[in-house]
Structure 1
Amino acid sequence: METKKKKHKVLLEGPVQPSFIADSIAKHSSKTDIGAHAIFLGQVRADAKEGKAVKAIEYSAYPEMAESILSEIREDLFSRYPITCMHIYHSVGTVKAGEISLFVFVSCKHRKESFDALRDIVELLKAKVPVWKKEIYEDESHVWV
């Protein structure tokens, strides 16, 4: 009997909550073959553009395509690095300045591999995954970036 790897939903509605991040970390304390966790948190900045501050970013995606590409990225990275565990979560919908929109969590036996894998995952996500963002300013105007 063949067992399939359980697919996790990668796109989350709204910001990635700090409690979700903490819970993800806590769940790994019983995995004693892990020596290093590398975590990347993408946070919405309140950049000022043309005298207006960004108050939020609205993320949108083509879910089926995004999930498929993320799955390919996961498989690629698992084949290139000795990863014990990997979690990727990206927000869709509105995320306010100061909130987390991307959470990538990689676990390996050693720190170098976890750092290297994390860097590659984040760069591939930014380059390949069809997630678009619209910056929303304090005056409610917006621009697609």
Structure 2
Amino acid sequence: MDKKKPKKVFVQGAIPPEKIAQSIANHQSKTNIGAHSIFLGQIRADEVNGKAVGAIEYSAYEEMAEKVFHEIREAAFSKFDITCAHIYHSLGKVKTGELCLFVFTSSAHRKIAIDACTYFVEEIKAKVPIFGKEIFEDETHQWKVNK
């Protein structure tokens, strides 16, 4: 099990595609890995009460959220035979079409990588104190309700 200190999860603004590409490239030398699973959360241009969402502004109780991310990570390493797991979540304003969540899991076999990735996403949505404020194209806003 990977019993390291909590990793930094938050990035300011959108998660750049280059960060995802670099994460993939960094694992090419790890020949004990046979599968990766990636989840990318992207901001949708939802329509709420007749208004289009233009962005979501994320905030969090960072210290508490980092602790919960770490607990989820440790639980995943106990539950699944994964080799690596990386999580990045946005803080601040992320426009529609941009990425706000990146979960990357690796293991010797695909089913484990996929199941672990799904576990991370569901646990993050259910447990991590991150709050999203939908900012509409007319600059009005409201707190987002997770679904």
Deviation string for 1:9-43 (max 9, x for gaps)?
10111010000110111100000000000000000
- Whether the 8 Å CA contact 2:35–2:110 is kept in 1: the answer is yes
Q: Read off the aligned partner of 1:43 and give its amino acid letter.
A: Q
The Cα shift of 1:48 comes to: 1.1
User: Is the 2:72–2:120 Cα contact (8 Å) retained in structure 1?
Assistant: yes
Specify the alignment match of 2:138 in structure 1. Answer: 139
Specify the alignment match of 1:60 in structure 2: 59
Q: Deviating runs (4+, > 4 A) in structure 1? A: none
Mapped partners of 2:6, 2:125: distance in 1? 21
Alignment of 1:25-104 (within 5 A): 25-104=24-103
Structure 1 length-normalised TM: 0.95
The AA in structure 1 aligned to 2:109 is: H
Are the counterparts in 1 of residues 81 and 112 from structure 2 also a CA contact under 8 Å? yes
Secondary structure class of the residue paired with 2:4:
coil
Alignment partner, residue 13 of structure 1: 12
The 2-side partners of 1:73 and 1:18 are apart by: 24
* 2: CA distance, partners of 1:76 / 1:97: 32
Q: Which letter does structure 2 place at the counterpart of 1:33?
A: N
Secondary structure in 2 aligned to 1:8?
A: coil
Q: Supply the RMSD in Å over aligned alpha carbons.
A: 1.0
Q: Say how many residue pairs are matched.
A: 142
CA contact (8 A) 2:35 2:108 kept: yes
What's the % identity of the aligned pairs? Answer: 61
How many Å separate the matches in 1 of 2:37 and 2:93?
A: 26
Corresponding residue number in structure 1 for 2:118: 119
SS of equivalent residue, structure 1 residue 76:
helix
Deviations 1:72-112 (A, max 9, x none): 00000000100100000000100000000000000000000
Q: SS of the counterpart of 1:95?
A: strand
Shift in Å at residue 51 of structure 1?
1.8
Q: What is the rounded CA distance, in whole Å, between the counterparts of 1:7 and 1:22 in structure 2?
A: 23
Distance 2:94 2:71 in 1: 26
Q: TM-score, normalised by structure 2?
A: 0.94
Unpaired segments ≥5 residues, structure 1:
none
